[in-house]
Amino acid sequence: MRQRANSGQILLIAAFIMASLLLSAQIYVLEVGKTSEEVELDSLSDFILSIQLGSENAVIGSLANISNGGASDTLELNLEKWASLIGDQYLYGKNVLNYTLRDTAPYSSGIWLNWGVNGHGFSSAYASFSHRLSGREADVSHSYIMNVTTTLLITSTNRRLNENTRQVNVTINVLNEAEPATAGQITIYYLVSNNWLIPDETNNYTLLNYGNGTYLASFITAFPTESVEVSAHIIDHRGIYVQANATSTEI
C-alpha cells in the first residue's frame, strides 16, 4: 500500500519535471519571437523613413527643374512615377503612396515661384503624402508633408567714391526651409540704361562668404543716379533657382 502511494508521488514529480521542461521551451520560443519582432519593427520604420526620404528627393529635384525653367507639371509627373514604383514593389506588404499637391494660394499644382522686386525671392514646392503599407507582417499608415522652400533675401547700399564712380554692396541671405543655407552659384546684375550688366574683375567684383548663408557682393561701377536696381540670381546647393531684385540706395 505504501509503495503504491510512493509511486504516485514519483509520478507527480515526473509530471512536474515534464511540465517545467515544456514551460522552459515555451518561454524560450516566446523570447526568441520577441527579439525578432523588435528587429522587424526597426526594419519597418527604416523602410518607411526611406520612402519619405525618396519623396523629399523627388520634390527637391522637381523644384530644381521647374525653378530652372522646366515644365510646371514636372512635380506631378515625378511623384506619379515615384508612387507607381513604390506600388510595384512588395516590400513588407502592399504599398500605396498617395500624394496631394497644394493648390491653395499662393501655390499652384504644388509650386510657388515668387521672385519679387522688394528684395525677396521664393521658390517653393508643397505636397502632402499618405503611405499605406498593408501585409501579413504589418498594417501601417503614415502621413507626412514635404515643404521645400528656398528663400533669397537681398539688401543693397552704395556710396560715392568720386565724381563718376560708386561702390555697390549687395548683402545676400540664402535660406532653405527658413534655415541658413549655402548657395551653389551666385550671379549679381545691376541695371544701367535699361541694360542688366554683370559686374566682373573690371569692376573689382568680390564675393565674400560668411559661411552662415550670408554673402556680401561688392563692386565698383559708374552710374549717374543715387540709386540703382540690383538683382541676385542664386542656385542653391540643391540646384533650386531663385532670384530677387532690390534698389540699391546711397548711404
The site for other proteins (CB under 8 A) is made up of: 3-4, 7, 10-11, 14, 17-18, 21, 32, 35-36, 39-40, 42-43, 46-47, 49-51, 53-55, 57-58, 60-62, 64-65, 68, 70, 78, 81-82, 85-86, 89, 91, 238-239
Q: Which is nearer to other proteins, 97 or 170 (CB)?
A: 97
Q: Closest Cα to residue 151, out of 187, 186, 114, 107?
A: 114
Q: Which is nearer to other proteins, 33 or 106 (CB)?
A: 33
**Least distance between other proteins and beta carbon 212 (Å):** 18
Q: Which is nearer to other proteins, 24 or 114 (CB)?
A: 24
| Ranges assigned E (strand) in the chain | 94-101, 111-115, 120-134, 139-160, 165-176, 179-180, 183-192, 195-197, 206-209, 214-222, 228-236, 241-250
β-pairing verdict for 139-160 and 120-134: antiparallel
Minimum distance between the CB of residue 121 and other proteins, rounded to whole angstroms? 19
What is the C-alpha to C-alpha distance for residues 28 and 22, in angstroms, rounded to an integer?
10
- Residue 163 C-beta: closest distance to other proteins, Å: 47
Q: Which amino acid is at 131?
A: H
Closer residue to other proteins (CB): 47 or 107? 47
For residue 193, the minimal CB distance to other proteins (Å) is 34
CB atoms within 10 A of CB 138: 15
CB atoms within 10 A of CB 208: 12
If we measure between CA atoms, which residue out of 35, 13, 36, 16 comes closest to residue 24? Answer: 16
What CA–CA distance (Å, rounded) separates 49 from 155? Answer: 39
User: How many other β-carbons are positioned within 10 Å of the β-carbon of residue 64?
Assistant: 21
Least separation in angstroms between residue 14's CB and other proteins is 5
106 cis-preceded (ω within 30 degrees of 0)? yes
Cβ closest to other proteins, residue 57 vs residue 149: 57
CB atoms within 10 A of CB 220: 15
Longest dimension (CA), the chain: 131
50 vs 100, which CB is nearer to other proteins? 50
Measured from the CB atom, the residue of 76 and 229 that comes closer to other proteins is 76
- In the complex, least distance from residue 51 CB atom to other proteins, rounded to whole angstroms: 7
Q: Min. distance of Cβ 100 from other proteins in angstroms?
A: 18
